[in-house]
Structure 1
Amino acid sequence: MPDELRADVRLLGGLLGQVIAEHGGPDLLADVEKLRKAVIAARRGDVTVDEVAALVDTWPIERAVLIARAFTCYFHLANLAEEHFRIRTLRARDTGETPLPDSLVQAVLEVKKDLGDARVAELIEGLELRPVMTAHPTEARRRAVVTAIQRISAQLAEYTMPGRGSGERAESKRRLLEEIDILWCTSQVRSTKLDPLDEVRTAMAAFDETLFRVVPLVYRSLDAALGEGTGTRAPMARPFIRYGSWIGGDRDGNPNVTASVTRRALQIQAEHVLLALENATTRIGRALTLGARHAEPSPALKAALAAAEDAVPDMVSELGTRSPAEPHRQWMLYIAARVVATRRRDLDLAYRSPDEMLADLRLCQESLAAAGATRQAYGELQHLIWQVETFGFHLAELEVRQHSQVHAAALEEVRAGGPLSERTEEVLATIRVIAWIQERFGVKACSRYVVSFTRTSDDVAAVYELADHALGGRAPVLDVVPLFESGADLANAPAVLSGMLELEPVQRRLATNHRLLEVMLGYSDSAKELGPAAATLALYQAQERLTAWAAEHDVRLRLFHGRGGALGRGGGPANRAVLAQAPGSVAGRFKVTEQGEVIFARYGHAAIARRHMEQVTNAVLLASTPAVEARTADAASRFRPLAERVAAASERAYRALTEAPGFPEWFALVSPLEEIGALRLGSRPARRGLGAPRSLDDLRAIPWVFAWAQTRVNLPGWYGLGSGLAAILESDSGLEELRAAYREWPLFASLLDNIEMSLAKTDRAIASRYLALGGRDDFARQVLAEYDLTRKLVLTVTGHSRLLENRRVLSRAVQLRDPYVDALSHLQLRALKALRSGDTLTGAERERLSTLLLLSVNGVAAGLQNTG
């Protein structure tokens, strides 16, 4: 471990130890240390996991709960220390002498080499990055815990800041101790279930604290890469990031998301963005103290100020008194007052649209530029313009999602003409709310309607017909987005799109939006159905077919990637995922879901958020160049037969396990699946229907992956690949073929690297103890045999002597956490066994055991990070 990181971990761990001893006494700290040393010794082979389990069994449940709390708090602090080390490393590498790898500067240099300046400008003009925030419940931490960690983060930054005096460091250390004390005393487990608006407000923290400030910095990086003089000339970079959100709009399987929730979600978003714009405009206005003699206002600005004085004489007169002979300052503060009026719904002064505000900001910018104040014209004021262009008055486009069967049932009722059910009334109310949002905030605020499990074009047509019925022919503007999730649906996607082209509402939209059609690909359910290897190839082939279909029908295709945070749901490094897409499928556009704990991992700190956005944009630019597309197409052509054989054998092995009689029931026994539902992770039910799962179809992909992560098996991330590789290695040339595919085909390299990461987070010894809970030795042996085979063959193909050998930073992070995750796994196993033993437990005993279990689930999620 690097010295700086080691010092931070020791500092935070030592302060936590002090807090633990203060609250629980030195004996509690001694027990925590005893377990810590025991799991480390087990990793070294000095003791057995049975001996560690025996130690855990000696403590009363109350003591076990406190020990689990200690390890959970430790993970939060270790994650924080790693984040700070990553930020320091990024800053140290950013010397300016050479472009950072995966940066926008590097991307522009590469693209210019390939395309030339003219084509670069064309590519930049069409560039789009659309992250869509979703509320899928993989963020196991309470909001109170997240904010406590953020306060500790701020104090750690203060404490480690170079050049600080001893008195300042002492005060920072005192504050660190205070905040860690608060973290220890804060309940790690939610006492009440989240509702959808809680999830909306939680996501707003990422906007308030990071996104609003970081987005213009990303544009500034691109502008600087495109040409010299950024900040003193009109920008060459246009805003290309547009945020979307499903939070408060996704009602598929979530009856808690209603039309009124969707309406309120947009209002909350608007409140946050308008407040941010108000503060930014006021700050810039107050700083714009250029006198008229040094920066004479343009005739247009003078006329606008005079018109404003006619409209609101008292306000403009007061601004003139406060800012005499400072016309640009007066104008900006007048704009700020209009933003306040917009937020408060004062219709006499409010802006009717973001475009009106942009016109006023550009008026000031043009006046400053004409007066020679170019730094003021294209500096912070340009950032504000970019922010309005990016976020508007709605912050993020709210997208609605509903299952195709719900629409089919609603349409049947509507056509019958009789009384409508409550569910059908809710479908129609949702469409009316979309119309209300468009009237209030504009079409850009809400127009996409995603249809889950789209099987035919009739599923798309149903939404348009329901919209006509809901508003008597005055339907809102809708872009109905088909979502293809199963293997069969992915294969059938082009046929569905051909049917969509025959629909009159779709034809109308294509005529007005430059023939842009959006299609969503579901990574989670396809992986749950087919296994990771077969799903990866199925999604790639779907992209190829859809790209060819779009070219044939003169359609601009935007693929929407429904990726999860975990590796079993399409997770992994986003920039590598982009570069692994099928040739032609990116074309300067990338839209992707940002789910659960990924939101705060990527957007919780400004420096990391900026780096993430630059890396993804870098990949989008490079993946859209002819050179990269040609290399990828050549590799795909050469290695496709190999990949198809791997996928076929992998899928056979995966289905042989997951479709075996009794498997769903066994899975519920070996994992804390039932208990995860009690963790109150989100507003959406963990599974479809009631009772124990009878098939994988009963389980949603998120708890499926989350529960396997808790068992330390991580089965959705790797199962079946070993059998797939073994099928190729039967031939003499098989190993060389596989190694060539790993070297030359980004898709295959990404698949193996992600599975290697998932294997590294798997612990065979701990996993065996969970698998034994199910009472099916045949299933347990099958899983462990496939794990052994997959681990062995992945190392053989990659040429690595150990897992993550070529990914030093990630390997260090896994090794740092593994023993401590082991400690929580042992505590969780104790709770699971006791709850399922069949012994008579009192209500109080069951409650204490449930607390231990849920706290351990929370802690393991913090330790493994990308759990669902």
Structure 2
Amino acid sequence: MKLSQKQVVFENEVLTRFELFKSLFLTLPFQRVKHTGTLLPFFASHCEQGVEQHLAPEEIIDSFFGQYEQYVQEEDRIDLLFRIVQYIERQVVLFDAVEDSSFQALEKTDETAGLDSLFKLAQSDKKLKNQIVEKLKDFSVRLVLTAHPTQFYPGPVLGIINDLIEAIKKNDIQNIHLLLQQLGKTPFINKNKPTPVDEAVSLAWYLENVFYKVTSNIHSKIDSELELPSDDVKQLIELGFWPGGDRDGNPNVTVESTKRVATMLRTILFRCYYRDFRLVKRRITFRGVEQYLENLQELFYNNSFNPVECPVDETAKILENLHNIKEVLLTSHNGLFVELVEDLIRKVNTFGCYFTTLDIRQDSSVLRNTLQYVVEKYADKTGIQAADLEKEEAEKQKAFIFNEELLDYEEDADPLVKDTLGVIRLIKDIQKAGSERAAQRFIISNCQQASDILGLMQLFLWQGWKKETLTIDFVPLFETVDDLARARNVMYTLYNNEAYAEHLKRRGKRQTIMLGFSDSTKDGGYLMANWSIYKAKVELTALARQYDIDLVFFDGRGGPPARGGGKTQRFYAAMGSEIANKHIQLTIQGQTISSQYGSLDTAQYNIEQLLHAGLISEIKPNSSDTLTEKQKSVIDDLASESHRKFMELRNHPKFLKYLEKLSPLKALSSINISSRPVKRNSDKELRLKDLRAISFVTAWSQLKQNIPGFYGVGTALEWAEENNLWSYVKQLYQNSGFFNTLIDNCMMSMTKSNFDITSYMKEDKEFGDFWTMLYEEYEKTKKYLLKLSNAETLMENYPIERASILAREKIVLPLLIIQHYAIRGIESKRFSEEHQEVYRKLISRTIYGVVNAGRNLA
């Protein structure tokens, strides 16, 4: 088959260059083992052959060492395996850098065109241009950075990656060689488990080095293309931040860490401002601006290097001085260097004195316990009796009188109670320092009833807040299939609650609702999770329109398709008229951050894609994206069949045991990648409902089985064919953007699966039948996806992405063999006791490389 021009470029710019630079990389010596680079290609080839022959990991590795006399001793073998892991970790980084450096050469495009094509149309269509301008005045994209444990390169490694990208772009071999040497000696692994503040510092690298610059570039582009005053689109691109604020199931997040993160974000922002201001001051040396420059010098310098304990919001003062400088330049100096001032104005309009909104999140059970504590301690002041909180939901809601009292807590109170009340007070200080935008959202995880939100609202009024100035948005998070099904009833109750309705009115009648994907996938499978969220959005939109509410959906979508990722912008472009799409808000995490927003080029491209998706879905909607009743009925049936199949799997007695024994699930709790525990209730035995969805998905991806991303889909499609619904399914795939994207993302998840790696398991006495059951569903799903897409291979319509995935899978294959070798050796007690702990560390190290290589999941 003849390759497209884009495929030829990918072959030349990425695959060939990677092989070239990899050969350079393999000559770098690591401490103690001189010949690792020489042996690695032989080891990788040996692993490939072993997998093709369906050999067990111990057979593959033992036969490899059998070829080399110097690796008789266990210590020497372990040492070489660790060095191989080190090399492969860095090969992944090298591939990332090579691929990112070719971004512009590939002229990467997606099915949805970028802003440029939209602006081009607007130049010749005045009506369209006016539509875009009006839409931009009340439209935003909010990207929320989360600290979920799916990938964290340390700051120094991120810096090397970006320097490598630039060096590779220029083919600067000497500099590339130096950077590879630096990479070889730079540690990838944290010696200690990071704190929430450490995580915030890591993510702040992206804020400072990528988002700060890119958001201004995009604003500038829109300003110039549409001749739109920057003040009209102040908040087109918003940023959110969870490290330090997200305490759901993370006991390491405290009031102190939240305060430190808020302070750190403000300080970093002012240092960014100060760097820009120094250029402004260096260029603008004219009369008439001296006092304004002096004022800004003092503001930027002091907030950067001499921060005070209780800072205040200086945004208005900064903008006043910048606008005065701009006016002087325009009236007295022919607008010379005015673009430097406008750039800084755009940034201050976007980031204020806070940089990114710090979201606070806590589980509903903790909030209920806190409410119970206050009510029991201050029964005479709250007006609520403890017994009221035990009543049925309708009666419980009537108990809230929303009185304003300052109620404290005792020092011996439960730590989570103290933290909840403490952070409610702290939010007020954060807002004083950075405006309401600095911390205005409290997200209630596992929100199951209206009283969860009403109770939290009451807690705010008992901690010094006033109804009239309660500048907080209460955001329910509906995540499980059951929670999504009852979301409409919860919101109906809230909209009809007099106190909450008054609060919403003061908040501009805007309600944000978060819909989480990860737990719904773990709860009901891939197809049911997608469909449950879609149905919830339709129902919640209809309800909001009935009550004239400006509804904002905040999507908790992770990196891989199994956690809601994939080609996200295509989902937003294909929402249809039944779903509110005025604002786009989503979480970005793990490998999604580095792959889609790790460099200036990729970040600008992906943010523009989201902007375009939101604009086009309203300005030029596709009528076929709004599903008919028949189409909904068909998808509903498919989701039900898929859910039935997935629940059979979940309820299988070997389900959790399979993950515990054969995947590195246990090791996830010991790696220093996140401050967050692998599961809620971490001191209790493992239960599926306590296991975090991220750990659940990661464990399956390390097995290269990716069950959450496809299981049940094949059975559902087979059912459709047997019940004469295949023509409807085919039509859905061809015409519905939602269904097409859902299926394509499923193919992406399956492309990253490789059952050959674990094919030896089918002979296992305990788990052989279970493995076979998984494999059969994989084969069935593959068969029907190929039939549906009329293709010969998965992802045939995305050859570049497919080639990238396969190249990465080839790089990490030896890591997987080493990992499974270590897991099986520990389980079978093949290794001596003195070596058991060493092999556990080896398992942990392999996890990093496999996860970091999975950026195509984003």
Q: Normalising by structure 1, report the TM-score.
A: 0.87
**1:149, distance to aligned residue in structure 2 (A):** 3.0
**1:198, distance to aligned residue in structure 2 (A):** 0.1
Q: How does 1:601-680 map to 2 (within 5 A)?
A: 601-625=595-619, 627-628=620-621, 630-633=623-626, 635-680=627-672
Contact 1:559 1:591 survives alignment (8 Å): yes
**1:576, distance to aligned residue in structure 2 (A):** 1.0
Distance 1:410 1:362, change over 3 A: same
Equivalent residue letter for 1:552: Q
Contact 1:461 1:503 survives alignment (8 Å): no
Which residue of structure 1 lines up, in the alignment, with residue 223 of structure 2?
223
**1:249, distance to aligned residue in structure 2 (A):** 0.3
Which residue of structure 2 lines up, in the alignment, with residue 399 of structure 1?
359
Contact 1:559 1:585 survives alignment (8 Å): no
Distance 1:416 1:517, change over 3 A: same
Counterpart among 117, 134, 138 of residue 126 in structure 1: 138
Counterpart among 113, 125, 129 of residue 102 in structure 1: 113
Distance 1:599 1:21, change over 3 A: closer
Q: Take 1:81 and 1:415, find their aligned partners in 2: how far apart are those partners? A: 59
Residue 412 (1) aligns with residue 372 (2) = yes
Residue 369 (1) aligns with residue 360 (2) = no
**1:332, distance to aligned residue in structure 2 (A):** 3.1
Q: How does 1:188-337 map to 2 (within 5 A)?
A: 188-227=188-227, 238-289=234-285, 291=286, 326-328=287-289, 331-337=292-298
Q: Take 1:818 and 1:141, find their aligned partners in 2: how far apart are those partners? A: 19
Residue 432 (1) aligns with residue 428 (2) = no
Which residue of structure 1 lines up, in the alignment, with residue 79 of structure 2?
62
Distance 1:190 1:636, change over 3 A: farther
Superposed CA offset, 1:784-840 (max 9, x none): 110010011111101111111110110110221222222111111111111111346
Q: How does 1:517-666 map to 2 (within 5 A)?
A: 517-625=511-619, 627-628=620-621, 630-633=623-626, 635-666=627-658
Which residue of structure 2 lines up, in the alignment, with residue 307 of structure 1?
none
Distance 1:120 1:817, change over 3 A: closer
Aligned to 1:18, what secondary structure does the other structure show? coil
Q: Take 2:143 and 2:187, find their aligned partners in 1: how far apart are those partners? A: 31
Counterpart among 161, 165, 176 of residue 153 in structure 1: 165
Which residue of structure 2 lines up, in the alignment, with residue 183 of structure 1?
183
Residue 31 (1) aligns with residue 22 (2) = no
Residue 494 (1) aligns with residue 488 (2) = yes
**1:148, distance to aligned residue in structure 2 (A):** 3.5
**1:441, distance to aligned residue in structure 2 (A):** 2.2
Contact 2:283 2:337 survives alignment (8 Å): no
Equivalent residue letter for 1:453: N
Which residue of structure 2 lines up, in the alignment, with residue 316 of structure 1?
none
Distance 1:459 1:815, change over 3 A: same
Which residue of structure 2 lines up, in the alignment, with residue 850 of structure 1?
840
Which residue of structure 2 lines up, in the alignment, with residue 803 of structure 1?
794
Distance 1:543 1:582, change over 3 A: farther
**1:582, distance to aligned residue in structure 2 (A):** 4.6
Which residue of structure 1 lines up, in the alignment, with residue 398 of structure 2?
none
- Of 276-285 and 686-695, the range deviating more from structure 2: 686-695
**1:222, distance to aligned residue in structure 2 (A):** 1.9
Counterpart among 722, 729, 737 of residue 730 in structure 1: 722
Equivalent residue letter for 1:80: A
Q: Take 1:561 and 1:350, find their aligned partners in 2: how far apart are those partners? A: 33
Q: Normalising by structure 2, report the TM-score.
A: 0.88
Q: How does 1:771-782 map to 2 (within 5 A)?
A: 775-782=766-773
Q: Take 2:788 and 2:506, find their aligned partners in 1: how far apart are those partners? A: 50
**1:526, distance to aligned residue in structure 2 (A):** 0.8
Which residue of structure 1 lines up, in the alignment, with residue 19 of structure 2?
10
Q: Which runs of 5+ in 2 are unaligned?
A: 1-9, 72-76, 379-409
Which residue of structure 2 lines up, in the alignment, with residue 484 of structure 1?
478
Contact 2:527 2:639 survives alignment (8 Å): yes
Distance 1:772 1:557, change over 3 A: farther
Contact 1:223 1:235 survives alignment (8 Å): no
Distance 1:780 1:341, change over 3 A: same
Q: Take 1:341 and 1:29, find their aligned partners in 2: how far apart are those partners? A: 50
**1:105, distance to aligned residue in structure 2 (A):** 2.5
Q: Take 2:795 and 2:668, find their aligned partners in 1: how far apart are those partners? A: 30
Superposed CA offset, 1:155-202 (max 9, x none): 334x42xxxxxxxxxxx4333223222322333332210100000100
Contact 2:149 2:590 survives alignment (8 Å): yes
**1:287, distance to aligned residue in structure 2 (A):** 1.1
Counterpart among 341, 356, 365 of residue 317 in structure 2: 356
Distance 1:25 1:343, change over 3 A: closer
Which residue of structure 1 lines up, in the alignment, with residue 149 of structure 2?
137
Q: Take 1:489 and 1:725, find their aligned partners in 2: how far apart are those partners? A: 26
Distance 1:458 1:22, change over 3 A: closer
Counterpart among 438, 442, 453 of residue 449 in structure 1: 442
Equivalent residue letter for 1:833: R
Contact 1:584 1:629 survives alignment (8 Å): no
Contact 1:713 1:762 survives alignment (8 Å): yes
Contact 1:483 1:521 survives alignment (8 Å): yes
How many residue pairs get matched? 804
Superposed CA offset, 1:39-62 (max 9, x none): 45567x589677645435645121
**1:108, distance to aligned residue in structure 2 (A):** 4.0
Counterpart among 691, 699, 702 of residue 699 in structure 1: 691
Contact 1:342 1:349 survives alignment (8 Å): no
Equivalent residue letter for 1:337: E
Equivalent residue letter for 1:175: N
Which residue of structure 2 lines up, in the alignment, with residue 788 of structure 1?
779
**1:344, distance to aligned residue in structure 2 (A):** 5.0
- Of 755-764 and 596-605, the range deviating more from structure 2: 596-605
Distance 1:348 1:816, change over 3 A: closer
Superposed CA offset, 1:392-422 (max 9, x none): 1100011100011111111111111176333
**1:594, distance to aligned residue in structure 2 (A):** 1.0
Equivalent residue letter for 2:201: R
Q: Take 1:415 and 1:692, find their aligned partners in 2: how far apart are those partners? A: 29
Q: Take 2:231 and 2:318, find their aligned partners in 1: how far apart are those partners? A: 19
Equivalent residue letter for 1:776: F
**1:846, distance to aligned residue in structure 2 (A):** 2.0
Equivalent residue letter for 2:503: R
Contact 1:706 1:867 survives alignment (8 Å): no
Q: Take 1:103 and 1:333, find their aligned partners in 2: how far apart are those partners? A: 41
Contact 1:144 1:186 survives alignment (8 Å): yes
Contact 1:565 1:595 survives alignment (8 Å): yes
Q: Take 1:772 and 1:246, find their aligned partners in 2: how far apart are those partners? A: 45
Equivalent residue letter for 2:431: Q
Aligned to 1:697, what secondary structure does the other structure show? coil
Which residue of structure 2 lines up, in the alignment, with residue 302 of structure 1?
none
Q: Take 1:773 and 1:183, find their aligned partners in 2: how far apart are those partners? A: 41
